Amino acid sequence: MTKIATVESTSPSWFLYVIETAHGNLYTGITTDVRRRYKEHCDQSAKTAKALRGKAPLSLRFVCVLNSHSDALKAEIWLKKQRRKIKERIINQQLSIPFEHNPLTQLVDCK
């Protein structure tokens, strides 16, 4: 069962996330609603990212909360440029992204 972060806030939070495909490829994205976006990817619907179509099952490997859309975009671009070894270290919390981000405050199950 996959755990997804939720954050209590008055302004919309932006999430940076990493999904792993059945073949081991890593997909990085940003969203304001991780639960909704992950479900869209898993459903293999028209809203699924083209890079993830036909590559199920998917596994949510990493989520962090950023302070703004601008920070989320910068972090996404930075992470997409990194080698797999760096991405794995970030996923395994052995390395932090070089952007101001908030720790996850609560985890809920995604179904």
Q: Which CATH number fits domain 2-110: 3.40.50.300, 3.90.550.10, 2.60.40.10, 3.40.1440.10?
A: 3.40.1440.10
Of the candidates 74, 58, 68, the one whose C-alpha atom is nearest the C-alpha of residue 18 is: 58
pTM of the model: 0.83
Beta strand pairing call for 14-20 and 101-102: unpaired
pLDDT digits (tens, 9 = 90+) for 58-108: 999 999 999 999 999 999 999 999 999 999 999 988 899 998 886 564 444
**Structure token pair of residue 14:** 């932006």
What ranges do the domains of the chain cover? 2-110
Classify residue 60 as left (phi > 0), alpha (psi -120 to 50) or beta.
Answer: beta
- Cα 55 from Cα 27, distance rounded (Å): 11
